[in-house]
């Protein structure tokens, strides 16, 4: 694994081919990554203005993020993210990252994660109950906004013991803003 990441000999896309994929990434980012993994395997190299890798094998991810994490640095893009979000767990490195990870680790204990399942189930059931009268009247549901609302509710209850999906102006503006950034909202009609 280390030898592969030291060299850019891993299969993948580069230059003009990578540039030509941008519409595909914009149209369906997740499926594009799945297609690349299907085509190139568990390790995909992206060579553009900088070189980056996509790892899909659990052992490779463990090696980079845990076993040998000190050997891998986050790129300059993370510094830009940190300017907007602060030096949190996602963007920090080294001793700062280790301290933050240790602080967050109890939230991801096996028993704590198991308790999240009830929150997720209850939230999904509540959403479906809210949808039922709409379905009976043939009313469309904007799936993007509903999934964001569901996610905010689950994350809020699991991490902060608060329902962040409750309809209030600031939260609704988040849902609207998210929905407006996508070209085609996804609707479900029963």
pLDDT confidence bin for 126, thresholds 50/70/90:
very high
Measured CA distances, 142 to 165, 182, 188 (Å): 15, 12, 7
Domain edge (last residue) among 25, 57, 72: 72
Name the phi and psi angles at 66, rounded to 5: -125, -65
Average pLDDT score over residue span 28-43: 90
* Residue 17 included in any domain: yes
**Domain total in the chain:** 2
* Residue 91 included in any domain: no
* Residue 59 included in any domain: yes
* Residue 98 included in any domain: no
Give the least confident one: 104-113, 129-138, 177-186: 177-186
Domain range spanning residue 119? 110-183
Q: Among residues 61, 24, 54, which one has the least CA distance to residue 40? A: 54
pLDDT at residue 129, rounded to an integer: 96
Q: Are 26 and 54 in contact (CB under 8 A)?
A: no
List pLDDT tens digits, range 87-124: 777 788 888 888 888 988 887 788 888 888 999 999 99
Say how far apart CA 7 and CA 175 lie, in whole Å: 42
């Amino acid at each position: 694994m280390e030898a592969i990441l030291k060299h850019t000999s891993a299969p993948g896309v580069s230059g003009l081919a990578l540039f030509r994929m941008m519409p595909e990434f914009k149209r369906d980012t997740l499926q594009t990554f799945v297609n690349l993994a299907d085509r190139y395997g568990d390790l995909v190299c992206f060579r553009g203005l900088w070189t980056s890798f996509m790892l899909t094998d659990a052992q490779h991810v463990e090696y980079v993020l845990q076993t040998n994490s000190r050997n891998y640095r986050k790129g300059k893009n993370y510094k830009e993210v940190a300017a907007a979000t602060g030096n949190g767990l996602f963007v920090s490195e080294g001793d700062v990252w280790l301290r933050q990870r240790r602080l967050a680790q109890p939230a991801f204990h096996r028993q704590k994660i198991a308790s999240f399942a009830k929150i997720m189930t209850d939230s999904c059931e509540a959403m479906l109950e809210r949808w039922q009268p709409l379905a009976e009247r043939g009313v469309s549901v904007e799936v993007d906004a509903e999934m964001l609302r569901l996610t905010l509710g689950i994350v809020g209850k699991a991490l902060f013991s608060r329902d962040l999906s409750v309809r209030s102006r600031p939260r609704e503006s988040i849902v609207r803003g998210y929905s407006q950034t996508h070209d085609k909202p996804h609707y479900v009609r029963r």
